Amino acid sequence: MFDEPNLIAGAGLVPLIRLAERAGLPALVGDRLRIEGTGSGAGANPATKVMTLVAAMCAGAAA
């Protein structure tokens, strides 16, 4: 059994997200990407959605 009280499961993603933010990825997405034609609010916050996808893919999610 692996039990480490100081281990945080998502801690490796923090530097990755900070790097993406410093590189201007959210601003770039906000300037260039529009999600339209959905009545469910899926077009809200495209930069947040892209950052979530980037983090998920780096954590091993399938594309």
Per-residue pLDDT of the chain (63 residues; tens, 9 = 90+): 667 777 666 667 888 889 999 999 999 998 998 777 766 666 678 898 899 998 888 888 875
The alpha carbon of residue 50 and the mean position of all alpha carbons in its chain are separated, in whole angstroms, by 5
The answer to whether position 5 is within a domain reads no
8: in domain: no
Instruction: Give the model's pLDDT for residue 25.
Output: 95
Cβ-Cβ contacts under 8 Å for 36 (sequence gap 6 or more)? 43
Per the structure, the complete domain to which residue 26 belongs is given by 13-58
What was the pLDDT predicted at 35? 75
User: What total number of domains does the chain contain?
Assistant: 1
The answer for residues whose C-beta is within 8 angstroms of residue 50's C-beta and 6 or more apart is: 25, 26, 29, 33
pTM: 0.67
* CA 34 to chain centroid: 17
* 41 φψ region: left (φ > 0), alpha (ψ -120 to 50), beta (else): left
User: What pLDDT sits at residue 22?
Assistant: 96
Task: State the Cα–Cα distance between residues 11 and 34, nearest whole angstrom.
Answer: 30
